[in-house]
């Protein structure tokens, strides 16, 4: 499992970087919605602590979408007038505040889905809108290596912490915005706030497949067991991801000339 932690997230970050370069930030953000970080973490929890604990963590993971959207919302708006360190602090503070609030709510699938839906609706309506086309990403080898290293280190930190906490915080930390942090910071440094905004909007669309995965896992794991539930969740997640593809295409259409920032 340690090898999985060290390889999966950095590898996915490399794939997202290439997706951003070829298809743009909206597609990269959309693909980031797949449960490639939280899925393995909750699988490890299921194998170590049992299906009941992992089912609760799965429900908490869905609620944690709200905390991740709080990070995205705060980062995207702050990045329009401040450099990345300030935007990162704003995003992490927003994540922490919402995460603490969510851990005081009942750990149930219904509450979690409600929190996630509200957060997605707010982000869809309130994230910065980008008018016109955004230049394609150009990422050097060194920058890509730094992204992958940061992803590996953050994954180790989060999985270590989640293993020592209860189901609510384990689920919450499994959706700590690892990909969001690495992608947002590197995107702002290299391509500016407009690229970040499109990346975050793509992530909003990608939340559907994430929620679908953990809904299936939470519902099916107590009766079917770990591996069948995760296999069914993966299939449903891919199907939902494919169904949202048209929304990504619509978000990539330019509407007007790009207004100058700053």
pTM of the entire predicted model: 0.79
Q: Where are the domains of the chain?
A: 2-251
Pick the range with the lowest mean pLDDT from 8-12, 138-142, 144-148, 233-237: 138-142
pLDDT digits (tens, 9 = 90+) for 127-165: 888 765 544 455 556 666 766 776 677 667 766 776 677
Alpha helices of the chain — where are they, by DSSP H?
A: 2-23, 25-31, 38-49, 51-78, 84-103, 109-126, 141-162, 167-174, 178-191, 193-224, 226-243, 245-251
pLDDT for 115 equals 92
Tokens representing 72 are: 């995205």
The token pair at 170 is 């384990």
């Amino acid at each position: 499992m340690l090898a999985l932690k060290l390889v999966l997230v950095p590898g996915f970050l490399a794939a997202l970087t290439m997706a951003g370069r070829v298809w743009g930030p909206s597609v990269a953000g959309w693909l980031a919605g797949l449960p490639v970080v939280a899925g393995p973490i909750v699988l490890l929890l299921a194998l170590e602590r049992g299906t009941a604990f992992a089912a609760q963590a799965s429900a908490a993971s869905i609620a944690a979408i709200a905390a991740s959207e709080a990070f995205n919302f705060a980062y995207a708006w702050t990045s329009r007038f401040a450099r990345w360190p300030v935007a990162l602090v704003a995003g992490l503070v927003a994540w922490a505040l919402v995460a603490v609030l969510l851990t005081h709510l009942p750990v149930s699938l219904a509450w979690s889905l409600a929190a996630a839906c509200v957060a997605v609706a707010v982000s869809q309506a309130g994230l910065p809108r980008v008018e016109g086309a955004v230049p394609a990403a150009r990422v050097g080898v060194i920058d890509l290596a730094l992204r992958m290293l940061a992803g590996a280190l953050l994954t180790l930190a989060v999985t270590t912490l989640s293993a020592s906490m209860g189901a609510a915080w384990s689920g919450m930390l499994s959706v700590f915005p690892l990909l969001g942090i690495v992608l947002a910071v590197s995107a702002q440094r290299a391509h500016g706030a407009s690229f970040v905004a499109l990346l975050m909007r793509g992530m909003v669309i990608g939340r559907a497949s994430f929620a679908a995965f953990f809904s299936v896992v939470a519902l099916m794991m107590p009766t079917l067991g770990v591996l069948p539930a995760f296999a069914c969740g993966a299939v449903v997640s891919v199907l939902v991801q494919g169904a949202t593809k048209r929304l990504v295409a619509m978000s990539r259409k330019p509407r007007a000339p790009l207004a100058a920032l700053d």
